Amino acid sequence: MLRALDVSNLVLIEKASLELGEGFTCLTGETGAGKSMLVDAIELLVGGRADAGLVREGAERAELSAEFEVEDKTPLADWLVEADLAGDPGTLIVRRSIDRSGRSRCFINGHAATLAQLKSAGEHLIDIHGQHEHQSLLRPAAQRALLDAHAAAEDLARQTGDAYRDWKRLQAVAEEAEKNFAQREVERSDLHASASDLKKLSLREGEWQEVSAEHTRLQHGSSLLGGAQSALEALAEADGAALGQLAAVANRLKALSAHDDRLKSVVELLESAEAQASEAPGWSSTRRRCAAPRRASKRCMPRPANIVCGPRRSRRKPPR
């Protein structure tokens, strides 16, 4: 039963509120008073078609709302619970807004709803005679209800509906299980193929780490070559190279150690540092040493086997 109706900014109506009491209610008035617009508002609230032309001129949107009294243990009450749209017991509030572009938003008991849900609820609420789409006798659900009532089979129809919904739910669960099983089979097949490939490789323990390390080394090959070349030049080939300086200082202190025994330990440290520095770039442990003077010559230092150098530029000044 319709209890209240609120309409704002619908066609010519700026604001209208209507509260209905018990019994029969009749709206009368001369032509153009707005009776049909109230009927149109009710029709919109039960899922009727809307367009931008229904919004009052100068307004942003039309707002419609209605309050209905709903009895418990009825198909509508069960539908509201099933659709998770239930509100206060015994009360149903529907609301709809239509903006200037013709888009509308629907609400049932404060919950956002689709137009189809609003129309489904409206089929249980009112009949608008003269508009065939709202006549109950033309709706299949109403026809089934009359047939079940005539055959006294309401309980059987309800049980059949519950069994059908349970069957559909279990069918959805079974389809989901089959889908997950097929996906697991695909994953199992991929894992089996990967395991077969790994078994064919016959990897030994620790080989994967070695291959990964080699891949990383090759991936940074240019950086390693550049760094080795820079280290080689800094140690032996550049002016004032570290190895040459170490050798010269060691020889000088070695000659002075004859006058002070405490310098022998310093000389040993310098010679040890020179030996370790000469092995840092991966040189051979056996290397030629130059004769006097003791200072290491650039040509005495063999290059590492894995370093390829281009032609050296002469550092001599051209003759004038």
Q: What total of structural domains would you count in the chain?
A: 2
How far apart (Å, rounded) are the C-alpha atoms in residues 114 and 105? 8
Do the bridges between strand 13-19 and strand 2-10 make them parallel or antiparallel, or are there none, so unpaired? antiparallel
Contact of 139 with 131, CB cutoff 8 Å? no
- Which residue carries 């931008």 as its tokens? 52
In 3D, which of 232, 243, 235, 240 has the Cα closest to residue 290? 243
pLDDT bucket at 294, cuts 50 / 70 / 90: very low
Residue 142 reports pLDDT greater than 70: yes
Per-residue pLDDT at 296: 40
Does residue 10 share a domain with residue 140?
yes
pLDDT tens-place string over residues 68-101: 888 877 888 888 888 888 888 888 899 999 888 8
Q: Which of 101, 132, 153 is the last residue of a domain?
A: 153
Are residues 133 and 29 part of one domain? Answer: yes
Query: Which range among 5-14, 106-115, 241-250 shows the weakest confidence by mean pLDDT?
Result: 241-250
pTM of the full structure: 0.42
235 and 122 in a common domain: no
Q: Rounded distance, CA 117 to CA 109, Å?
A: 12
Note whether residue 183 is domain-resident. Answer: no
Kindly state whether residue 190 falls inside one of the protein's structural domains: no
Q: Residue 280, Cβ neighbours under 10 Å: how many? A: 14
d(CA 247, CA 253): 10
Element (H, E) at 253: helix 242-256
Which range of 109-113, 126-130, 199-203, 266-270 scores highest in mean pLDDT? It is 109-113
Please check whether residue 234 lies inside any domain of the structure: yes
What percentage of the chain reaches a pLDDT higher than 90?
A: 10
Q: Quick one: CA dihedral 166, 171, 174, 176, positive or negative?
A: negative
Which residue range forms the structural domain that includes residue 266?
229-300
- CA distances in angstroms from 13 to 38, 64, 228, 315, listed in the order given: 9, 11, 88, 100
CATH number at residue 112: 3.40.50.300
Write down the pLDDT at residue 175. Answer: 92
